[in-house]
Amino acid sequence: MGRITISLLLIVYLGVLLLGPLANPVASEHLTGPLARVVAPVHRALFQGHGYRFFAPEPGPGHFVECRFKMQDGSEHVSRFPDRQVHQPRLLYHRWFMLAETIYTELNGTPDAKSFAKAQSTLRNEVTELRSAGKLKPAKQLAARIDLLDAEYQRTRKRIDKLLRSVASALLEDQTDADAVELALFERSIPLPADVIDGVKLDDERYLSQPMSIGQFTRDELFSSTGSTKLEEVE
């Protein structure tokens, strides 16, 4: 009887573990979704609500951040994250990998200030045209939408700035001899299967994008009494 009970418990536990990758991030409306909601407390308690579709069926390009430190003696020191040679064990590498991907996602999904202002100006012109045509209700609705977009954009920019400042702070805390750090984002495309068969290496420079500067930070501005920001404080 005890063997049967243990076997049943193991089967149930295995089912709970399998529901994580089956239901996250896209769950079946009639099967895995409802079941996953039932066992969600167990997933959270055991940290088992993982999904693996991020890497399949067609993983996208990878990203890394280059860190160019300005040292106190005037020299430069360059590093990057993630870096398999530095970030060990594998779990630590994964954390830096996901941090680089988070930075890319935030920046890639957010227009620069000039582009956003231009889009908002176009919408405001539409509001003026609607009011001139006597369409007051649509004009009011569009004006409210403009205000909402502006508030959301400001929150997003603030979140991105806080993220980058916290990363720069953590890097400078590690590089105690550095006065400043410049961050640049790179994208590495995946070679085609035919190219790999022909001997192309995954780190071939042809598949590396041009660097995109994402911020320059000095130790003084980051660790002043009003500007200190730590990585763990980022929401």
Q: Where are the domains of the chain?
A: 2-53, 61-110+156-233
pLDDT at 54: 56
Classified as helix, coil or strand, 73 is: coil
- Give the Cα separation of 8 and 216 in Å (integer): 57
Report the predicted TM-score, pTM, of the whole model to 2 decimal places: 0.69
* Closest listed residue to residue 115, CA positions, set 80, 153, 85, 77: 153
- Give the Cα separation of 22 and 36 in Å (integer): 9
- Give the Cα separation of 66 and 79 in Å (integer): 6
pLDDT tier, 154 (very low <50, low <70, confident <90, very high otherwise): very high
- On the question of pLDDT at 49 being above 80, the answer is no
- On the question of pLDDT at 79 being above 50, the answer is yes
- In terms of DSSP bridges, do strands 62-71 and 76-81 run parallel, antiparallel, or are they unpaired? antiparallel
pLDDT at 232: 44
Q: Cβ distance 232 to 169 under 8 Å?
A: no
pLDDT at 16: 82
State both tokens at 189: 């495309």
Q: Which residue has the higher pLDDT, 52 or 131?
A: 131
- The contacts of residue 49 (CB under 8 Å, 6+ apart) are 20, 23, 24, 36, 40, 43
